[in-house]
Amino acid sequence: MTRQLPPLKPLRAFEAAARHLSFTKAAQELNVTQAAISHQVKTLEDSLQIQLFRRFNRRLMLTDAGQTYLPQLTEALDQIDAATRRLRAVDDSGDLKISVATSIAAKWLLPRLVRFRQKHPEIDVSVSASDKLVDFGRDDVDMGIRYGRGTYPGLRVDKLMQDTVFPVCSPALLQGPVPLDQPSDLKHHTLLHEEWGEQINAPDWRAWLAAAGVTGVNATRGPGYSHSSLSLQAAMDSQGVALARSSLVGLDLEAGRLVQPFGPTLPTNYACYVVSPAAAADRPKIKAFRDWLLEQAAEDLSPTV
Amino acid sequence: MTRQLPPLKPLRAFEAAARHLSFTKAAQELNVTQAAISHQVKTLEDSLQIQLFRRFNRRLMLTDAGQTYLPQLTEALDQIDAATRRLRAVDDSGDLKISVATSIAAKWLLPRLVRFRQKHPEIDVSVSASDKLVDFGRDDVDMGIRYGRGTYPGLRVDKLMQDTVFPVCSPALLQGPVPLDQPSDLKHHTLLHEEWGEQINAPDWRAWLAAAGVTGVNATRGPGYSHSSLSLQAAMDSQGVALARSSLVGLDLEAGRLVQPFGPTLPTNYACYVVSPAAAADRPKIKAFRDWLLEQAAEDLSPTV
DNA sequence: TCAATCGGATTAGAAATTATTATCCGATAT
DNA sequence: ATATCGGATAATAATTTCTAATCCGATTGA
């Protein structure tokens, strides 16, 4: 191909100057000084070795060469402008692609997503549930929702929910024949375990029992599940008592599918975060979704419904 | 109008990188380093707030956004390239516009111009005879031929001919009844005067007579003409003796229309120069014409014909 | 007719952009 | 395993671009 393009900034300056037949007006259009335009045009003329303007004292004219050059440049620059607008438009209207940790997707986001569609019918959200960390440089993804410590360099990070941990079970189990009124009663119940595959170390049953001051309960007893949603489902099915993260069971507690029989509620050192590339963080659809997420999380804390 | 163009250099870098799907190859195409392309693309992405590439370890992909952007940019840049080539072509093939001092045009250039047309039939020469100095910034003119001292800042200047001054008359006058064998014979002949309007001060009759050691001749006697070509024409018509510039009478002497009756031949402090804007001096048609002019001037000194 | 104004050119220096070097990093490839 | 490939990054260098200040010549207009 080997194009032989002239320097592009001077080209742009010439185009503006030729359109206005005035360096001063071109300078205004491009937000620079008249001297800058004068330099640029000269640079272009020198680079092309062709005179483009005829300079009179209070008047500019295009040379024959400049005359033929101008309209073609105008068209080309307009095309770049149009392409760029189109790019922005396509990008603003295209799918909003979110990558969400599977448990959050299942237990928190998806149940709420209908409301977002109602609020912003113009934004199509495409959720990809995955427990692999998003790499915005690699994946064609706009935002991520992740558990973690909130340290993601180069990304815009907003904390959605700080997690706590406490026991939950089905209301049926609570009212069942075997008492479940205080932590020590757990020795007569099945403990449901969740294996957090990731590097997150939230309190497990051993830690919770220790914090609750309960002894004589085998912390490792009972089935393990690979995902929070599975252990919670087991709990809803009255198969035992699960240790739940507050961020995931909000709706289940609200709906009465699960109850917290007793405390304590333990803090964790991680939270749920919305992340997106810092550069793109303020694009309309991304901002809209982030704002909505934070709003939802705030409602979790003080349920108005 | 108010275009919102992204920075153009990064844009160009992106286009090349996207075309090759390789920063390294784009760098080669643009004669910069891979790091430069990496920076440029990042700058563009940041400026648009839109990710354009997906970066894998040994592979690049375009995002959806980049995919839609690329072809439009390619087209726009191709258009600029095409416009620029066209500009050069038009400019190389268009008229070669020369501004020439009237006397040089009449007595030197025009008689020789047919030969140039023969040598370079592809170049159309348009001669504008004028005694106003060319201002390349103001006039749409490619070259000038001027008398002067050769000090033209910012211009490419080549000396065509150093001028000398001597008397000329028609052969008929020389063989006429009134003798014209030595300077002192001039007292019996009409002196033809030329008024150099410009700042050039070449020897006039007074200076020449003094240099010739002739006394008793009224240096101011005889008719004056506004142009060299007129006084020379009068001389050819045997109306008297003119003081001729060597640069103008070459062909007339060769053809025998004029003869130099005697010396001395006086030097002058000016010469005839070809000038053109330094920037454009090497464009094909300009170079061709300048070379041809210098060739013609050299032939004047050592006539081969 | 003289001063004010207008618009571009010019110069020198400041600011910003752009490019480079050197090095890192994580996959392939040998 | 080691080399290589291709992009990222940090620090710095080089270049481009811009500005402020001023000049200049023609209008304008009082």
Helix axes A110-119, A284-301, angle to 10 degrees: 120
**pLDDT recorded at residue B218:** 74
**Cβ within 7 Å of nucleic strand D, residues:** A 7, 9-10, 13, 27, 30-33, 35-36, 39-40, 43, 56-58, 137, 154; B 21-24, 34-35, 38-39, 41-42, 53, 55, 57-58, 60
Same domain, A250 and A201: yes
Chosen domain end from B47, B63, B93? B93
Structurally, chain A folds into a number of domains equal to 3
Interatomic separation, CA of residue B144 and C1' of nucleotide C9, rounded (Å): 22
Strands annotated E in B24-124: 53-55, 60-62, 96-100
> Quick check: B241 and B173 in contact, CB under 8 A?
yes
Q: Is residue B245 part of a domain?
A: yes
Same domain, A281 and A135: yes
Flag residues of chain B having pLDDT under 50: 305
Mean pLDDT check: name the lowest of A11-15, A55-59, A140-144, A222-226: A222-226
**pLDDT recorded at residue B31:** 94
State whether residue B181 sits within 8 Å of chain A by CB: no
Instruction: Please name the residues between 184 and 213 in chain A that touch chain B, using a CB distance below 8 Å.
Output: none
Q: Which residue of B has its CA nearest to A85?
A: B4
State whether residue B5 sits within 8 Å of chain A by CB: yes
Is B294 near strand C, with its CB below 7 A from some atom of it? Answer: no
Q: Is residue A128 part of a domain?
A: yes
pLDDT over threshold 90, residue A22: yes
Protein chain B, residues 11-30, with a C-beta closer than 7 Å to any atom of nucleic acid strand C: 13, 27, 30
> Quick check: B79 and B87 in contact, CB under 8 A?
no
State whether residue B24 sits within 8 Å of chain A by CB: no
d(CA B263, CA A39): 54
In one letter, which amino acid is A26? A
Q: For residue A201, name the pLDDT band (cuts at 50, 70, 90).
A: low
**pLDDT recorded at residue A177:** 77
Tokens of B228: 């060299």
d(CA B240, CA A87): 82
Residue listed under structure tokens 């990496």: B38
Is A282 in contact with B63 (Cβ distance < 8 A)?
A: no
Partner residue opposite B5 with nearest CB, options A69, A84, A94: A84
Same domain, B128 and B262: no
Chosen domain end from A58, A93, A128? A93
Interatomic separation, CA of residue A25 and C1' of nucleotide D23, rounded (Å): 21
Partner residue opposite B84 with nearest CB, options A5, A46, A94: A5
- Among A126-135, A231-240, A248-257, B15-24, name the most confident range: B15-24
Its domain, for residue A45, covers: 8-93
Same domain, B170 and B241: yes
Q: What residues contact residue A274 under an 8 Å CB cut-off, 6+ apart?
A: A143, A144, A145, A157, A158, A160, A290, A293, A294
Q: Percent of chain A scored above 70 by pLDDT?
A: 93
In one letter, which amino acid is B63? T
Task: Give the CATH number, domain containing residue A288.
Answer: 3.40.190.10
Q: Is residue B1 part of a domain?
A: no
Same domain, A102 and A227: no
- Residues of chain A contacting residue B78, judged by C-beta atoms under 8 Å apart: 3
Task: Give the CATH number, domain containing residue B71.
Answer: 1.10.10.10
Q: Is residue A207 part of a domain?
A: yes
Overall average pLDDT of the A125-129 stretch = 88
Same domain, B198 and B49: no
> Quick check: B184 and B216 in contact, CB under 8 A?
yes
Q: Is residue B282 part of a domain?
A: yes
The set of strand D positions with any atom below 7 Å of a protein CB reads 5-11, 16-21, 25-27
Q: Which nucleotide is nearest to A30 (CA to C1')?
A: D18
Q: How many CB atoms lie within 10 A of CB A138?
A: 13
Q: Is residue B177 part of a domain?
A: yes
Protein chain A, residues 47-76, with a C-beta closer than 7 Å to any atom of nucleic acid strand C: 53, 55, 57-58, 60
The set of strand C positions with any atom below 7 Å of a protein CB reads 6-12, 17-22, 26-28
- Residues of chain B contacting residue A76, judged by C-beta atoms under 8 Å apart: 76-77, 79-80, 83
**pLDDT recorded at residue B41:** 96
Same domain, B283 and B151: yes
Which of B50, B75, B90 best probes binding to A when mutated, by most A CB atoms within 10 angstroms?
Answer: B50
Q: What residues contact residue A136 under an 8 Å CB cut-off, 6+ apart?
A: A144, A155, A276, A277, B51
- Among A171-180, A208-217, B148-157, B158-167, name the most confident range: B158-167
pLDDT tens digits for range B131-175: 777 888 888 889 999 887 777 777 888 888 888 888 888 887 777
- Whole-prediction pTM value? 0.80
Of A163, A164, A172, residue with least CA distance to A263: A164
Same domain, A79 and A202: no
State whether residue B82 sits within 8 Å of chain A by CB: yes
pLDDT over threshold 90, residue A6: yes
Q: Is residue A3 part of a domain?
A: no
Chosen domain end from B63, B93, B123? B93
Same domain, A174 and A244: yes
pLDDT over threshold 60, residue A45: yes
Same domain, A253 and A190: yes
B155-168: strand order across its sheet:
B125-129, B96-100, B143-148, B266-277, B155-168, B241-245, B191-194, B224-225
Q: Which nucleotide is nearest to B56 (CA to C1')?
A: D7
Overall average pLDDT of the A199-207 stretch = 70
Interatomic separation, CA of residue A295 and C1' of nucleotide C15, rounded (Å): 43
Q: Is residue B30 part of a domain?
A: yes
Same domain, B80 and B132: no
Mean pLDDT check: name the lowest of A7-16, A54-63, A283-292, B128-137: B128-137
Distance from CA of B221 to the nearest CA of A (A): 44
- Residues of chain A contacting residue B28, judged by C-beta atoms under 8 Å apart: none
Same domain, A85 and A103: no
